[in-house]
Structure 1
Amino acid sequence: MATGVARADDVTLRLPAPTGPHHVGVTALHLVDEHRADPWPDEVGAPRHLVATVHYPSRDVRDRPVAPHLTPAVAAVLPHFHQPLPATGVAWGATLTHSRTDAPALPGRRPVVLYSPGLADPRALGTTTAEELASRGYVVVSVDHPGETMAVDVPGRPAPRLFALPGDPSTDPRLYRDVIATRLADTDLVLDRLERWAAGGNPDADGRALPADLGRSLDLRRVGLYGQGLGGTIAAEAMHEDTGRRVDAAANLEGFLDYHPERPGQDGELLPVARHGVDRPLLLLGTEGFQDDRYRRAWSAVLAHGCARQHVIADANHWALTDHAAVVPQLHAAGLVDDAGRDALVGPIDPAVSVPTVRRHVVSFFDRHLR
């Protein structure tokens, strides 16, 4: 796998700026569940480690460095996981976000939303929407799930953790169930550590100093979940299983709501959220290019129970719900991705339409149910 060395004529990609009234700060969290073994370990008996990014409104970003979009490890492998992204001709590690590292938090109590990415995708691919939410007064916690993410830099490790699932969840129904169970447990861990942080403790496993006032700003009486792809599956199912009612609303950005079928040609068993519905608000946000009979069957089942609503974005495809909405059209304009590649990833939709559309649906949904 070529990591590539940036050349002077490589394309540098740009992310759209958030449109809310607040500056955005960003920090990282390293979380460890000492009571749960990692299901995809690279060392026997290792506890479960998670790494998260926290975006939040900041009162002052002066003299704080701008955060990069991708770590070097993710930049090296992203085009190999998301073909037909080009491995050369792009300075994948040069893209900057609109967030400032460890900037002081803006005082005030803030609703909290957790983001889970698609299978193998890094949490960084949700930056555009996370920054938009933070600029509008939310604290956003985006979580990587090591072992099933293409690359994760875990503190204390000499090298990044790479994708390490023992098979392909899309063709192994049992593995797919195990991945879902793991992510649901990961979500519980994050919520537990946020409660510790809001109570005045330090949730970071390494005791790293966290931005001033950020812990006090967490209003855990107002919590939402959202995710794209498998992350959307987790957002919906985690809210269904949330008997302690820690979660108030969830948004599923085109995640399956059934298990993979045991045999080809069969329908998969519906997830509990689709079989029984939810008693709290659920948004189903999809794209015209990715919807098929499988989605329609499972999504129709949960919609029939009430408390859920659906919107499908025309002329878009699956990764238009991520930062690729802005990135892939730039590659297309530079001649690095052809029409078929663009359409397979994000569809022919103009990013001037797709980016604000996704932001508007997610922000308005949480504004309605968390404010």
Structure 2
Amino acid sequence: MTPHSAPSRRTVAKGALLGAAAVLFGASAAGAAEGPAALRLPAPTGPHPVGLRTFHLTDPGRDDPWQPGPRELMISVLYPARTVRGCPRVPQLTPDEADAFSELAPYMHPGLPAAGVDWGAVLTHGHRDAPPLPGRRPVLLYTPGGGDSRTLSTTLAEDLASHGRVVVLVDHPGDASQVELPSGVRRTVLMGPPDPATVRTMIDTRVADLRFLLDRLGDLPLAPVMDLRRIGVYGHSAGGTAAVHALASDDRIAAGVNLEGYLDFDPELMARLDRPLLMFRTDGFEESARLERSWAGIPARRVLLPDANHWIFSDYAHLVPRLQAAGLVTAGVRAALVGAGDTGAATAVVRHGLRSFFARRLPAAARR
């Protein structure tokens, strides 16, 4: 296990691009030099500031399915902080990750701009290495949508952490668009829709990643603030699929949330699912018929988000409308990614739903 700090920040966009951004975002040239002010993430709603630490893990007993060598993971741990004084806010992407994502974004999510955005300038509300608030707290594992990196679902995790949870965001290298490992940035091997065998490998690998992480949580420097008797899991899309499969197959996980992931990969396992589950879906998802069939008969509370689409559960809910306002994506692209409705209202429903569900199933630890 290796603590991993992001490289020092640098300006990703060059002078001409910054000048264009100043016009598109309605900012002055001086403001643009600090990155596009319009690309902001909403603050968490809880009473606690949020700390963040990043770790590199290696599983020497498992081969990586996407390239030769042992399986490696990057994780971010978000937690309620005692203080954030002197601890800087963490960029959503490291400079090298931002460089890679600038190239990959239009391929991973058609319609995202190929230029005009300084992705490395987007700040999270997590404060690097802030001292944690005393007390053991429930732990929530998060696995992102297929092709997405863990940091593109930061805001929901920050909100949960600000309300007293420890949240572990898991990257899945080879699947994720880009992941910065100690050896450098590793890009996705998945360009275009994957075939069924590849999807199965992706889901099985993600479940194995989660089980390995469960084995290692007690070794992390932040283990003293984790209550490993109360663990939940949530995930989006392919991550939702993996989260529910992990919930059904690992007794260490007590409750889970599925954010619009299919559940038709292992019907026998799903038939044995007997733990609390909450499931969200949108009315704009193009594969809603398959989704509903795969959910049939599974005991879970369900929530429908109207006027929304599949990536509303990620940080695109906040970034895409701002890109549209800047003229960098069309209304059609926005609708295809996050829906045409009020993304702020939808986000509030998702935040409240997850907080309430995990508060009932994994109540916060009393402060010690």
Compute the TM-score of the two structures, normalised by the length of structure 1.
0.85
State which of 294, 297, 303 in structure 2 corresponds to 1:298: 294
Does residue 1:363 correspond to 2:355, yes or no?
Answer: yes
1:273 is displaced (CA, Å) by: 4.2
The amino acid that maps onto 1:82 is H
The amino acid that maps onto 1:50 is L
The amino acid that maps onto 2:40 is R
Q: In the superposition, relative to structure 1, how do residues 196 and 171 fare at CA in structure 2: closer, same or farther (>3 Å)?
A: closer
Asked whether the 8 Å contact 1:74–1:150 carries over to 2, the reply is: no
Asked whether the 8 Å contact 1:237–1:271 carries over to 2, the reply is: no
Other-structure match for 1:200: none
State which of 113, 127, 134 in structure 1 corresponds to 2:161: 134
State which of 217, 224, 232 in structure 2 corresponds to 1:216: 224
- Per-residue CA deviation, residues 66-91 of structure 1 (Å, 9 max, x unaligned), is 10012233323252222211122222
Other-structure match for 1:257: 263
The amino acid that maps onto 1:241 is S
The amino acid that maps onto 1:86 is P
Does residue 1:339 correspond to 2:331, yes or no?
Answer: yes
Asked whether the 8 Å contact 1:254–1:284 carries over to 2, the reply is: yes
Q: Which moved more, 1:19-28 or 1:9-18?
A: 9-18
1:294 is displaced (CA, Å) by: 0.3
Structure-2 separation of matches of 1:37 and 1:147 = 12
Other-structure match for 2:238: 230
The amino acid that maps onto 1:130 is A
1:8 is displaced (CA, Å) by: 4.1
Q: What aligned pairs does 1:1-371 form with structure 2 within 5 A after superposition?
A: 5=14, 6-10=17-21, 11=25, 12=36, 13-41=39-67, 44=68, 46-76=69-99, 77=101, 78-80=104-106, 81-155=108-182, 157=183, 159-165=184-190, 170-197=193-220, 210=221, 214-242=222-250, 245-259=251-265, 270-274=266-270, 276-290=271-285, 292-302=288-298, 306=299, 308-371=300-363
Structure-2 separation of matches of 1:175 and 1:352 = 34
Structure-1 separation of matches of 2:121 and 2:13 = 13
Structure-1 separation of matches of 2:200 and 2:312 = 26
Structure-1 separation of matches of 2:18 and 2:241 = 39
1:9 is displaced (CA, Å) by: 4.5
Structure 2 gaps, min length 5: 1-11, 26-35, 364-368
Other-structure match for 1:201: none
Asked whether the 8 Å contact 1:126–1:323 carries over to 2, the reply is: yes
Q: In the superposition, relative to structure 1, how do residues 365 and 319 fare at CA in structure 2: closer, same or farther (>3 Å)?
A: same
SS in structure 1 of the partner of residue 126 of structure 2: strand
1:349 is displaced (CA, Å) by: 1.5
Structure-1 separation of matches of 2:172 and 2:50 = 24
Asked whether the 8 Å contact 2:97–2:185 carries over to 1, the reply is: no
Q: In the superposition, relative to structure 1, how do residues 91 and 298 fare at CA in structure 2: closer, same or farther (>3 Å)?
A: same
1:351 is displaced (CA, Å) by: 2.5
Q: In the superposition, relative to structure 1, how do residues 82 and 73 fare at CA in structure 2: closer, same or farther (>3 Å)?
A: farther
Asked whether the 8 Å contact 1:257–1:273 carries over to 2, the reply is: no
The amino acid that maps onto 2:322 is Q
The amino acid that maps onto 2:240 is G
SS in structure 1 of the partner of residue 127 of structure 2: strand
Structure-2 separation of matches of 1:147 and 1:185 = 14
How many residue pairs are counted as aligned between the two chains?
330
Structure-2 separation of matches of 1:18 and 1:130 = 9
Structure 1 gaps, min length 5: 198-209, 260-269
Structure-2 separation of matches of 1:272 and 1:347 = 34
Structure-2 separation of matches of 1:109 and 1:323 = 28
Asked whether the 8 Å contact 1:27–1:53 carries over to 2, the reply is: yes
* RMSD over equivalenced CA pairs, Å: 1.6
Structure-1 separation of matches of 2:105 and 2:186 = 17
Asked whether the 8 Å contact 1:4–1:88 carries over to 2, the reply is: no
Structure-2 separation of matches of 1:300 and 1:312 = 15
Structure-2 separation of matches of 1:365 and 1:273 = 23
- Per-residue CA deviation, residues 280-304 of structure 1 (Å, 9 max, x unaligned), is 10111111101521011011232xx
1:336 is displaced (CA, Å) by: 1.3
Structure-2 separation of matches of 1:8 and 1:55 = 35
Structure-2 separation of matches of 1:180 and 1:173 = 11
Structure-2 separation of matches of 1:249 and 1:344 = 30
SS in structure 2 of the partner of residue 7 of structure 1: helix
SS in structure 1 of the partner of residue 169 of structure 2: strand
Moved over 6 A (4+): none
Identity, % of aligned pairs?
48
